[in-house]
Amino acid sequence: MAKNLMIQGTMSGAGKSTITAGILRILLNDGYRAAPFKSQNMALNSFVTKDNKEMGRAQVVQAIAAGMEPSSDMNPILIKPMGDTTSQVIVNGEPIGNMKASEYYVMKNSLIPDIRAAYDRLSDEADIIVIEGAGSPVEINLRDNDIVNMGLAEIMDAPVLLVGNIDPGGVFAQLLGTVSLMTEEERARVKGLIINRFRGDKSLLMPGLQMFKEYCSIPFAGVVPYVKLDLDDEDSVSERLDNAFHTASESAKIKICVLRLPFISNHSDFTAFGSVPGANLIYAKDTADLEDADLIILPGTKNTLKDLLWLRESKMEQAVLDMAGKGTLIIGICGGFQMLGEKVDDRDNNEGGGSLKGLSLLPLSTVFDSNKTLKQVTGQIGNIEGEYAGLSGADVNGYEIHMGVTEGDRDIFPAYINGNVLGTYIHGFFDSPDLMEKLIRIIYKRKGIEDDIKIEDHILHTEKELDRLADVLRENLDMEMIYKIIGL
């Protein structure tokens, strides 16, 4: 049986996913077979494995950090919010239905055998499993049937490192309040504390660490500085969706606008634009954001009809139509692609029910059904004429995750194209450096820019960022203490 370590946080956004990924990369670099595990993840950024199973994107990044092939065993339960109190529940990589929060709360303990089985399969492959918790471990109203924080730590007999985020302030209160609300047995599992995202002179914090001993006997395992990393995020609360994250350069040559839909999913599709020199990436929240855009992208969504209605009510739809009429390049991914058609029909209430007219920029219609498409896609774009001719022959490596069947004339694999409008179901469409370079050249040519472009491979870029993260953690965490906690 593999040894383990659990990373919990004082709250959502404490940095659990990042700390987990960094420790996994350290373990890999130190010669250990390590694997990530998160029993239950609530996120709209997901991925499809080689065996066509769906899992959270954060555990994919952690798998890369550990040098392992992503597996749904690393995230046996994935919850994808659809609005109000309803979510799609995915177990072992496959959807089991849409549930109200109250329904899931009643039945989730029945999934413990699935959690144990997934963990045991990972144990056969790894020396160490690094487990990530979710949210806060002391939501006292949820303690009775917890399967992701201290309840899971007990099931797996895991020692815990507790992470607090100092960036918003109040980190000592976060840490002390969290351990104070734990039972005596739970508190005994917490073997070390980590302060994350510290900015400034660490020497000024040291007196606080000493004073904290008067209130809590759990030792500190380190203080991690704030590091801006270019890694795929877990969900729509990501700081990536804040335009302040994407600092516009004065030398920016082109403007890329992604519509900030209320139920945006898989915004990891656009991480690759961060590697494009001279590109200004904007998450557009109102019509003014779209001004002077060179490319407008309608992203994926977990509720196509609600987000289509939002486009209409916010006047974003008319703005997109006006820009399309002026010749601006428009690309739709997954749910955004469905919106570009003439009609979206959810007659069987798979995503809330109803039927709406689409933007009618592509001659196709989508009807939702109960079947979910999950598959990886690899190939090359065929010969294209017109605005997107420069994409001909580009490599495509991605995956499809969608409900519904779209009927229309698919002009060229893997896209539907109508003049300056392109739609595809493929997530990861922009991750191919070959395709991205061709797309940027198209935009440059339209603007009369003569400049060669070279894009770094997305996976290679991720590997470099993970190595950078591991270096920071190794320098600022007491790894000797952490290895002892693991039992090595």
Active-site residue flag, 334:
yes
Choose, from 334, 402, 458, 461, the residue flagged as catalytic. 334
Tokens describing residue 55: 């899992």
In the block, residue with structure tokens 């607090």 = 164
Distance CA(394)–CA(390), nearest Å, equals 9
Distance CA(117)–CA(156), nearest Å, equals 12
Per-residue CA distances from 57 to 45, 47, 151, 154, 283 (Å):
5, 6, 23, 26, 20
Tokens describing residue 278: 């001279």
Tokens describing residue 334: 């997954």
Is-contact 128 34, C-beta < 8 A?
A: yes
Per-residue CA distances from 313 to 238, 293, 310, 316, 317 (Å):
25, 21, 5, 8, 8
Per-residue CA distances from 205 to 15, 75, 202 (Å):
19, 36, 5
Is-contact 357 343, C-beta < 8 A?
A: yes
* Among candidate residues 143, 225, 133, the one with its CA nearest the CA of residue 469: 225
Number of H helices, E strands in the chain: 14, 24
Cα-to-chain-centroid distance, residue 438:
26
What strands lie across the sheet with 128-132, from one edge to the other?
A: 34-37, 128-132, 3-9, 160-165, 190-198, 220-225
Is-contact 373 339, C-beta < 8 A?
A: no
Active-site residue flag, 257:
no
Choose, from 246, 267, 402, 427, the residue flagged as catalytic. 427
Tokens describing residue 469: 């993260």
For 184-203, letters b (16+ CB in 10 Å) and e give eebbebbbbbbbbbbeeeee
Give me the active site residues, please: 334, 427
